[in-house]
């Protein structure tokens, strides 16, 4: 059974803490544009919230798209990115475009995509920081 | 470049469509930290006391601090400042939303907006690069539609601040709406932006400031957030936001009712209470970016068959537009929404409506004067008046000047115009809290509840709550503490809930900056903010004569509730003022002595 994040969008208060703590782990700095989970708000017209993150799909389009085999499913069924093997497809980021759920991200400050790996076995930071307890690992 | 800062401020000249930089050295930051002390210094050094608040010479200064958007709980605030069109004196006003995060990442510690554009524009400030964009298609729109249209182009990430019709029409109680639900509310800063023909400011930043010890600051912040997440105080705040404040004020008899006559919320047991509003209207908690206690209440109502979303209510709005006017909970939400969309400060607008309702009730103003009948509890008539004010139609043109000037120009009973220094009062009746009375009277920006909060101790001790002795030093100390928070810039609500006292906050500042700041130095800088604001006010002609309260509070006792029968004793009040002046190092005319100026190294501003 694949584990992934489950999010209660009704509860999400759009504080962005999930993104900021995730970015600190991935990039060493709490930066809104460097996390692997992103909050999209529809305010002021609606309370609708969208969260973008890797669903650890059973059939992962990203792994199929990667020409370097840098994206691999681990024994825990989580899809991991091997940054050493990844060359960002010379800027094409085929995996990012292959993802049907907008669950991977790029930023010009990094040569590889930003992707959730559920904190590699530790309690995911986004789960433990969320003040609304809207994010769970299931 | 000092750690935790960029060492510079971006100056945007809207008139000549030019930008420049103001470089600030480490001494500036060590002396003023950021936020309130920094803007007070800039208002003085840039001699803004000499300018007409609504002329092109006035400037809007927006400043962050070393802990802005650092993950320290509460670091989601920035300070706006200008010479106020409402009071004619010092003005700062804090705001959250996404603005503090993005401003701190523009490679500047703040912005100064000067000059007035000849055409309608909005400012795009992305990574420190400024574009002056045409805003003709946005001019005339309400705040919500303006933000929505801008976000259709820029997306949900950047910060969007804008004005509504009130700001465009230079209404003196106009606010700046920021990132849905947040407002730079007080003192008419929206009118200053409108006078510059600037409809909106879009800010996006991706450059992270270099901190001295980022890992430790991050870890300490995350530990604090996680360890306190389930505390009762924080969970309660998440559940009700600031709506619970009415419970305390109702209990103490210091809620506002009928233009500060009653001291109670008459509909408290019907629908004007936290539980009813939470159950019937609140849809969602809303947060400032990076805040671990999303205390904003996002509500929904149905109007004419359509669902409308409302940022709020929070307590001050509930007090001044709700309990004060005796409207229903639904009426409060509609007035809340109208003010937010038109770009009006809800506190000031509620005061003006209360003043009008009382004036009509007592026959000082006829329905013919206003063009409509306005009675307590009448939401629809109130909504019409809000529109008249924001569009300056009919008597709305005079109402737009604020309650003080309206009462003066119409020769109405000024004892009932509830303001200090021209700034309308918030939702605590001072007759049941002498500390609040003093806080209001001496607050630099005028009637303000965010400078000290003396109720903190008063609420537990009725004798102390009503005493005049011992309040001068007490309020001054609380003010220094608050001003230090506002230097960092931290939200008022969070440090206490995370057990962060001044010494602990100074340590966090040191992690960001590499300094060895002590709590004594920290509080001294807080006090410096107040000294500078005082000097600025004196230069503006706002003096000791303005350190007072509306006549009503001296002459008329509270009519109902737990503080019924209390009024402010003139002699007791003067004792508090004198004690406060001594605590501040001011002479009997409220002027900082030479010794005080020397102590704070402010002799240059004499």
Q: What does the pLDDT look like over B138-163, one tens digit per residue?
A: 999 999 999 999 999 999 999 999 99
Residue B438 in tokens: 């003093």
Please state, as a whole number, how many other Cβ atoms lie within 10 Å of the Cβ of residue B137: 11
**Contact residues on chain A for B282, CB-CB shorter than 8 A:** none
Residue B114 in tokens: 């000067």
A41 Cβ under 8 Å from any chain B Cβ: yes
Q: Is pLDDT of B83 > 90? A: yes
pLDDT one-digit tens code per residue, B117-142: 999 999 999 999 999 999 999 999 99
Residue A88 in tokens: 């960002």
Beta bridge partners of B307: B302
Angle at the Cα of B413 (from B407 to B414), degrees rounded to 5?
60
Measure in Å the smallest separation between the Cα of B294 and chain A Cα atoms. 6
Q: Which helix (H) or strand (E) holds B285?
A: strand B282-286
Residue B249 in tokens: 């004020």
**3-state SS class at B297:** strand
Indicate the residue of B101, B238, B292 with minimum beta-carbon distance to A32. Answer: B101
Q: Is pLDDT of B297 > 90? A: yes
Residue B277 in tokens: 């509003």
Residue B227 in tokens: 């360890």
pLDDT one-digit tens code per residue, B563-591: 999 999 999 999 999 999 999 999 999 99
Contact A131 B294 (CB under 8 A): yes
Indicate the residue of B156, B218, B300 with minimum beta-carbon distance to A41. Answer: B156
Q: Is pLDDT of A2 > 80? A: no
All residues at 6 or more sequence positions from A122 whose CB lies less than 8 Å from its CB, including other chains? none
**Contact residues on chain B for A17, CB-CB shorter than 8 A:** 225, 290-292
Indicate the residue of B156, B291, B311 with minimum beta-carbon distance to A15. Answer: B291
**3-state SS class at B64:** coil
Measure in Å the smallest separation between the Cα of A58 and chain B Cα atoms. 30
Contact B287 A15 (CB under 8 A): yes
B290 Cβ under 8 Å from any chain A Cβ: yes
pLDDT computed for residue B251 by the predictor: 97
Contact A132 B226 (CB under 8 A): no
All residues at 6 or more sequence positions from B277 whose CB lies less than 8 Å from its CB, including other chains? B243, B271, B297, B299, B313, B318, B329
Q: Is pLDDT of B318 > 80? A: yes
Per-state percent for chain B, helix, strand, coil, to nearest 5 = 45, 15, 40
Using an 8 Å Cβ cutoff, are B427 and B434 in contact? no
pLDDT one-digit tens code per residue, B172-193: 999 999 999 999 999 999 999 9
B60 Cβ under 8 Å from any chain A Cβ: no
**Contact residues on chain B for A44, CB-CB shorter than 8 A:** 144, 147-148, 151, 180, 309, 311
Q: Among residues B543, B574, B578, which one has the least CA distance to residue B473? A: B578
Beta bridge partners of B9: B22, B110
Query: Distances in Å between the alpha carbon of A45 and those of B171, B176, B341?
Result: 26, 18, 12
**Contact residues on chain B for A18, CB-CB shorter than 8 A:** none
Average pLDDT, chain B: 97
Give me the mean pLDDT over the B489-503 stretch: 96
pLDDT computed for residue A1 by the predictor: 61
Measure in Å the smallest separation between the Cα of A70 and chain B Cα atoms. 28
B23 Cβ under 8 Å from any chain A Cβ: no
Substitution target in B237, B294, B512 with the highest count of A β-carbons within 10 Å is B294
Please state, as a whole number, how many other Cβ atoms lie within 10 Å of the Cβ of residue A83: 14
Indicate the residue of A15, A42, A47 with minimum beta-carbon distance to B289. Answer: A15
pLDDT computed for residue B271 by the predictor: 98
Measure in Å the smallest separation between the Cα of B286 and chain A Cα atoms. 5
Indicate the residue of B157, B225, B285 with minimum beta-carbon distance to A132. Answer: B285
Residue of A nearest to B147 (CA): A44
Dump the DSSP string for B416-470. Answer: GS-EETTEEP-S--GGG-HHHHHHHHH-TTSS-SSS--THHHHTT-HHHHT--TT
How is residue B368 annotated by DSSP? H
**Contact residues on chain B for A128, CB-CB shorter than 8 A:** 226
Confidence of residue B103 (pLDDT cuts 50, 70, 90): very high
Give me the mean pLDDT over the B109-115 stretch: 98
Say how many CA atoms lie within 13 Å of B564 toward its Cβ: 5
Q: Among residues B7, B9, B77, B4, which one has the least CA distance to residue B43? A: B9
**3-state SS class at B528:** helix
Rounded CA separation B336/B272 (Å)? 14
Substitution target in A43, A110, A124, A125 with the highest count of B β-carbons within 10 Å is A43
Percent pLDDT > 70 in chain A is 99
Give me the mean pLDDT over the A20-39 stretch: 97
Contact B289 A10 (CB under 8 A): no
pLDDT one-digit tens code per residue, A62-104: 999 999 999 999 999 999 999 999 999 999 999 999 999 999 9
B291 Cβ under 8 Å from any chain A Cβ: yes
Look at strands B121-126 and B129-134 and give their pairing: antiparallel
Measure in Å the smallest separation between the Cα of B72 and chain A Cα atoms. 11
Contact A16 B287 (CB under 8 A): yes
**Which residue intervals of A1-138 are DSSP H helices?**
17-27, 61-65, 94-98, 125-129
Rounded CA separation B547/B543 (Å)? 7
Look at strands B8-13 and A135-137 and give their pairing: unpaired
Substitution target in B206, B293, B298 with the highest count of A β-carbons within 10 Å is B206
Rounded CA separation B389/B210 (Å)? 46
pTM: 0.98
pLDDT computed for residue B557 by the predictor: 97
pLDDT computed for residue B46 by the predictor: 98
Burial label, A91 (beta-carbon count in 10 A; 0-12, 13-18, 19+)? exposed
Confidence of residue B303 (pLDDT cuts 50, 70, 90): confident
Residue B372 in tokens: 């409509």
Indicate the residue of A13, A21, A24 with minimum beta-carbon distance to B285. Answer: A13
Contact B286 A13 (CB under 8 A): yes
Contact B288 A13 (CB under 8 A): no
SS3 per residue for B80-147: EEEECCCCCCEEEEEECCCHHHHHHCCCCCEEEEECCCCCCEEEEEECCEEEEEECCCCCCCCHHHHH
Indicate the residue of A15, A40, A128 with minimum beta-carbon distance to B156. Answer: A40
Cα B166 from chain centroid?
17
**3-state SS class at A62:** helix
Dump the DSSP string for B188-256. Answer: THHHHHHHTTEEEEEEE--PPPPPSSHHHHHHHHHHHHHHHTT-HHHHHHHHHTTTTHHHHHHHHT-S-
Rounded CA separation B251/B330 (Å)? 23
Q: Which helix (H) or strand (E) holds B296?
A: strand B296-303
Give me the mean pLDDT over the B321-350 stretch: 98
Taking a contact as any Cβ pair under 8 Å apart, which residues of chain B between 82 and 121 contact chain A? 101
Give me the mean pLDDT over the B15-34 stretch: 98
A128 Cβ under 8 Å from any chain B Cβ: yes
The residue to which tokens 């009006």 are assigned: B344
**Which residue intervals of A10-87 are DSSP H helices?**
17-27, 61-65
Task: Say whether the peptide bond before residue B489 is cis (omega within 30 degrees of 0).
Answer: yes
Beta bridge partners of B420: B423
**3-state SS class at B530:** helix
How is residue B320 annotated by DSSP? I
**Contact residues on chain B for A42, CB-CB shorter than 8 A:** 156
Rounded CA separation B333/B314 (Å)? 10
Task: Say whether the peptide bond before residue B189 is cis (omega within 30 degrees of 0).
Answer: no
**Contact residues on chain A for B205, CB-CB shorter than 8 A:** none
Residue B156 in tokens: 């949900």
Contact B214 A14 (CB under 8 A): no
Rounded CA separation B107/B325 (Å)? 45
Q: Is pLDDT of B270 > 70? A: yes
The residue to which tokens 């500042």 are assigned: B509
Contact A16 B294 (CB under 8 A): no
pLDDT computed for residue B1 by the predictor: 84
Q: Among residues B549, B544, B536, which one has the least CA distance to residue B602? A: B536
Q: What sign does the CA torsion over B138, B144, B145, B149 have?
A: positive
Check if the interface score ipTM surpasses 0.90: yes
pLDDT one-digit tens code per residue, B385-395: 999 999 999 99
Task: Say whether the peptide bond before residue B420 is cis (omega within 30 degrees of 0).
Answer: no
Q: Is pLDDT of B111 > 80? A: yes
């Amino acid at each position: 059974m694949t584990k992934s994040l489950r999010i209660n969008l009704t509860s999400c208060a759009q504080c962005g803490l999930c993104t900021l703590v995730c970015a600190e782990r991935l990039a060493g700095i709490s930066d809104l544009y460097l996390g692997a989970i992103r909050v999209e708000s529809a305010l002021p017209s609606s309370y609708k919230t969208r969260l973008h993150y890797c669903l650890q799909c059973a059939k992962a389009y990203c792994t199929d798209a990667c020409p370097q085999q840098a994206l691999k499913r681990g024994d825990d069924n989580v899809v991991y990115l091997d940054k050493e093997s990844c060359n960002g497809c010379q800027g094409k980021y085929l995996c990012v475009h292959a993802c049907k759920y907008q669950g991977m991200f790029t930023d010009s400050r990094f040569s590889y995509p930003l992707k959730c790996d559920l904190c590699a076995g530790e309690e995911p930071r986004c789960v433990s920081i969320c003040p609304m307890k809207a994010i769970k690992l299931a | 470049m000092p750690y935790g800062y960029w060492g510079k401020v971006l100056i945007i000249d809207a008139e000549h469509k030019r930008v420049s930089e103001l470089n600030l050295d480490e001494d500036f930051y060590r002396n003023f930290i950021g936020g309130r002390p920094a803007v007070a210094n800039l208002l003085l050094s840039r001699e803004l006391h000499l300018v007409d608040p609504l002329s092109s010479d006035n400037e809007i200064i927006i400043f962050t601090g070393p802990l802005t958007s650092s993950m320290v709980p509460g670091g989601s605030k920035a300070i706006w400042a200008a010479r106020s069109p409402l009071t004619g004196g010092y003005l700062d006003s804090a705001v959250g939303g996404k603005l503090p995060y993005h401003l701190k990442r523009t490679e500047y510690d703040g912005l100064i907006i000067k000059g007035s554009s000849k055409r309608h524009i909005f400012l795009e400030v992305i990574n420190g690069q400024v574009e002056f964009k045409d805003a003709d298609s946005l001019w005339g729109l309400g705040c919500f539609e303006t933000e929505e249209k801008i976000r259709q182009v820029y997306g949900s990430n950047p910060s969007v601040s804008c004005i509504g019709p009130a700001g465009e029409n230079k209404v003196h109680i106009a606010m700046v709406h920021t990132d849905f639900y947040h407002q730079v509310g007080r003192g008419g800063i929206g009118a200053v932006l409108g006078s510059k023909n600037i409809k909106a400011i879009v800010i996006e930043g991706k450059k992270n400031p270099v901190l001295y010890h980022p890992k430790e600051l991050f870890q300490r912040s995350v530990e604090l957030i996680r360890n306190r997440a389930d505390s009762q105080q924080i969970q309660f705040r998440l559940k009700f936001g600031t709506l619970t404040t009415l419970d305390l004020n109702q209990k103490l008899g210091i809620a506002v009712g009928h233009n500060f006559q009653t001291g109670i919320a008459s509909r408290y047991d019907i629908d004007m209470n936290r539980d009813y509003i939470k159950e019937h209207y609140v849809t969602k908690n809303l947060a400032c970016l990076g805040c671990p206690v999303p205390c904003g209440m996002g509500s929904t109502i149905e109007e004419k068959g359509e669902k409308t979303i409302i940022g709020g209510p929070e307590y001050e709005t509930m007090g001044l537009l709700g309990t004060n006017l005796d409207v229903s909970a639904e009426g409060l939400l509609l007035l809340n929404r109208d003010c937010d969309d038109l770009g009006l400060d809800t506190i000031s607008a509620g005061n003006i409506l209360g003043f009008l309702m009382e004036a009509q009730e007592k026959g000082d103003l006829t329905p013919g004067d206003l063009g409509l009948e306005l009675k307590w509890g009448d939401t629809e008539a109130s909504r019409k008046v809000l529109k008249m004010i924001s569009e300056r139609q009919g008597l709305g043109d005079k109402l737009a000047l604020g309650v003080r000037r309206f009462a003066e120009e119409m020769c109405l009973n000024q004892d009932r115009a509830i303001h200090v220094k021209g700034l309308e009062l918030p939702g605590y009746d001072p007759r049941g809290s002498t500390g609040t009375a003093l806080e209001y009277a001496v607050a630099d920006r005028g009637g303000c509840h965010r400078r000290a909060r003396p109720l903190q101790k008063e609420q537990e001790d009725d004798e102390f709550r009503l005493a005049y002795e011992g309040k001068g030093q007490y309020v001054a100390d609380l003010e220094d503490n608050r001003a230090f928070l506002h230097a960092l810039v931290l939200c008022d609500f969070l440090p206490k809930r995370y057990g962060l006292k001044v010494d602990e906050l100074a340590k966090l500042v040191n992690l960001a900056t590499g300094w060895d700041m002590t709590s004594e130095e920290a509080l001294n800088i807080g006090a410096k903010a107040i000294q500078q604001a005082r000097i600025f006010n004196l230069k503006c002609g706002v003096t000791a004569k303005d350190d007072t309260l509306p006549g009503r509070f001296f002459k008329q006792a509270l009519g109902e509730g737990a503080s019924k029968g209390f009024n402010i004793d003139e002699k007791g009040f003067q004792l508090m003022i004198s004690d406060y002046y001594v605590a501040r190092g001011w002479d009997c005319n409220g002027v900082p002595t030479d010794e005080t100026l020397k102590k704070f190294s402010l002799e240059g501003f004499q």
